[in-house]
Structure 1
Amino acid sequence: MTVTNDVNVTTAPRRRWSPNNFTWAALSFAGGIGLWWLATVGGLSELPSPWAVLTRMIELALDGQLWEDTFASLRRVMIGFVLGSVIAVPTGFLMGWYRVARAVIDPWVQFFRVIPPLAIIPLAIVTMGIDETPKIFVIFLAAFLSAVVSTYQGVVSVDKTYINAARVLGANDRVIFTQVIIPASTPFILVGFRIGLGSAWATVVAAELIAAQSGLGFRMQQAQLYYDLPTIFVSLVAIGILGLIMDRIVVWAEEWLTHWQERV
């Protein structure tokens, strides 16, 4: 016998087209450039026009100076950020998992966390010289402090219900740590990476302003002496673009690693 369903099934209404995030970002960028251009054309600001900055950027790129400075700053940021993050993650796990480690490490982390890395630059230069070591060290410190606090917070924020349920099912500490603690802490760790990237770029620019022979911060300092505003803006734009690209990479990694997490 065949059973028929007399209930009318209505199809869901079609979604209206809506711009994606990339479109909104492009519109926001274009709007910002437009306001900048209007401010310079209307005489409301002494800032260089977008066209002047673009022209100067092309000149520096063709001359090779822009690529040299960009590579120098990017190299310092990547070395300091990677070293800081690699050491911060296991340190944060130790602090969150073992009370003794937390009692020993946490006071030092909080002590250095309230000291701006910029304040350590003069001491680092005096004790380590004026080569790459002090610059990378202060970047390492900025990235480490951001990542270690986020990792620790991620461990202690894990819902105890998940841990108790795993123990009831017979899981030992190793399984709980690898299958519960690490996945639940991943979003916190990646947020710490994003904050650490911003701190790393701010720190490297400050370090290059004090003692460097290359880099985007060094180029801004040199341009300041000659009141070369377009060159200053070129360095600022380069830093902003590099920081945005690196931040998007971390965001994509977060979406890939935490696809199981409910999102709004």
Structure 2
Amino acid sequence: MPDHPDTVLTPSASAAGVAITPTSASARPRGRRRRRPLTRAGSLGLNVLSAVAGILIWWTLAKVGFNLPTPAAVAKQAGHLLADGTLEQDAMASLRRVLIGFCLGCAVAVPVGFLMGWYPVARALIEPWVQFFRTIPPLALIPLAVVLFGIDETPKIIVIFLAAFLACVIAAFQGVVSIDRTLINAARVLGAGDLTIFRRVVIPASMPYILVGMRIGLGSSWATVVAAELIAAQEGLGHRMQSAELYYDLPTIFVGIITIGILGLLMDRVLLMAERRLTVWQERR
């Protein structure tokens, strides 16, 4: 046993008889403090402080002459829209479109990304089309979708589907190709087949990538649905904002913007909660 209490023994050093250097508290680098993780209460307090500061800046800009409605005017208009059911109807219409298109896009993107990452033939066949459509903004496909499918729900859901799919499929593909091959080889040595490797190795290791892609796809879905509702819709937050623009109704426009931001933020937080549960095995720093 070493005499110094803080002596560090390495297997290679002890086996070769190499002199071992003691490490002590005095020998450790100074000047670096380990950052304490932010508690949940502290994080929530900072969130509230940030929101209050943003509202104060908004109110100040409105008072000093910027062409903005005050927070009080926007809150009053939101109350009117809630009272007559307009805001609830529009929010539910937009939320329904986003959920359908987003869920369908992610449900298709994950297996396609797995196929691209696992089978070289599938990658060679599918990746050129994925990269081709990635260069085309989903918003550019809205006129084509309207011409082909009319102005009902189908074209809106199709463009939202494409926005979510293109964001998530690349993330799933990247998750598969980034897996340490040592894990896969070890599973094969232990007798695991492709199905077991997919279930026990590929899916858990790819989950952080997939969830990041889903969060990106969620933002793209909301941007797409608003643009689609601006072009062809009879209800929805985008349609309400376009109608308010014709009458220069700034409070209603702000109500629509804030509602979209709140709904998107809540959905993103749900994905974050799912990420914490599904990647509990991952080392946190």
Q: TM-score, normalised by structure 2?
A: 0.85
In the TM superposition, residue 17 of structure 1 has moved relative to its aligned partner by 9.4
Counterpart residue identity of residue 206, structure 2:
S
In the TM superposition, residue 245 of structure 1 has moved relative to its aligned partner by 0.1
Q: Structure 1 vs Structure 2: percent identity of aligned residues? A: 64
In structure 1, C-alpha distance between the alignment counterparts of 2:103 and 2:55, rounded to whole Å? 33
Larger Rg: 2
What are the Cα deviations for residues 81-107 of structure 1, in whole angstroms up to 9, with x where unaligned?
011111111111111111111111111
Matched residue, 1:229? 250
Matches within 5 A, 1:1-264: 20-43=42-65, 45-264=66-285
What are the Cα deviations for residues 1-57 of structure 1, in whole angstroms up to 9, with x where unaligned?
xxxxxxxxxxxxxx89965211111111111001111111222x1100000000000
In structure 1, C-alpha distance between the alignment counterparts of 2:126 and 2:252, rounded to whole Å? 43
Counterpart residue identity of residue 92, structure 1:
G
Uncovered stretches (5+) of structure 1, i.e. residues with no partner? 1-14
The size of the alignment, in residue pairs, is 249
Matched residue, 1:4? none
Higher RCO (C-alpha under 8 Å, 6+ residues apart): 1
Counterpart residue identity of residue 161, structure 2:
F
Stretches of 4+ aligned residues off by more than 3 angstroms: 15-19
Q: Helix, strand or coil: the match of 1:20?
A: helix
Uncovered stretches (5+) of structure 2, i.e. residues with no partner? 1-35
Change (3 A) 1:50 1:98: same
Counterpart residue identity of residue 151, structure 2:
I
Q: TM-score, normalised by structure 1?
A: 0.92
Cα RMSD (Å): 1.4
What are the Cα deviations for residues 206-230 of structure 1, in whole angstroms up to 9, with x where unaligned?
0000011100000000000000000
